[in-house]
Structure 1
Amino acid sequence: MTTLENRPGTALLVVDVQVDVVGGAHERDAVVGNIATLVERARRADVPVVWVQHADDGLAKGSDGWRIVPELAPAEGESLVHKNYGDSFEDTTLESVLSDLGVGRLLVTGAETDACIRSTLHGALVRGYDTILVADAHTAGDKTAWGAPPVPQVIAHTNLYWTYQRAPGRTAGTIQTDSVDFESTPAGK
């Protein structure tokens, strides 16, 4: 499975579910609800939840819009990784956090599908992680004014191509929130 030695654990990765990032996102409440369900299940199964929080010129660190949405909150002891680029691994502590947890398999959720989620999926896979996208737990805002397809098509396309993504010695794919069973996956501790 993962090409990372001695890393049998699984973690739930929650990427950029911040007030301004998901404020006008497609099916925001349903996606945030699915992520909340996954966070609760992961915690019950003692599977690490790792939070990622983005900041840049348009999203100032410490601002109200930068905060994680009020429906979700990192628990005491859960890792919070700050980033400034699309790929959650790029110039962050994410790799060392996951290494310390013994994690080689990621379930990825969050926003934005067509930016940070896609970058993080690819970043994880090329770094040796088994990388599963939770198909109904990621979203994006409407970018049709800039020539992008409507958000439902962006999500469907991302789910389609990630379902068939492969790499030597690693697995990728998608899963629905209702099918995630953290009890049958190795804990990340």
Structure 2
Amino acid sequence: MKYGSNLGYALEIINLTLNSGEKIGIVGRTGAGKSSLVKVLFRLTHENTSGSILIDGQDISKFGVGYYRPQLGMIPQESSMFSGSIRRNLDPLNQFNVEEISGQQQLFGLCRVIVRKRKIVVLDEATANVDLETDKSIQELIRKEFSNCTVLTIAHRLETIMNSDRIIVMDKGAIAEIGTPQELLAKNGMFAQLVKTSDFGQ
């Protein structure tokens, strides 16, 4: 994937299989390709892109984006709020009964995804702007509510991804390392260096 035909690759030679229900941490310095990976998953790039993404054996390019994107859950770093009630903020399209709807502002994005019961959820530095204690509470909620979901977490803190099943280390648009946190720490490679320097691409 390129952001322009005259630009270098933002992603190159990505070959990856994720298992249903797996919790994946994604790390790398700024410009490593973390956000680009999310953009191709959500089909936010059309030109200068080749390859395919299959979910349950189905090529996502065969689905209209109006059908496909709502099947995914996204919790961004900046959670938007609408004027009005908590109810309207959780369910702006009025799709759910009040019994189906489970306070800090950053938790709203999380709650929106929880009530929609998405099977694939992306957390794009979702807890970057909260204190460590709130981060822990959110991670516990994610583990409980998304236990059967495939969760991709773009990390900004070590604590956010150390309980992941596997960690993907991105570098220059490619997957530099992949493995369990313990395997990558023992390897003493790029992930171990990121941990030592706490450089998670903030």
Q: TM > 0.5 between the two?
A: no
Q: Whose radius of gyration is greater, 1 or 2?
A: 2
TM-score (norm. length: structure 1)? 0.35
Normalising by the residue count of structure 2, what TM-score does the alignment of the two structures yield? 0.33
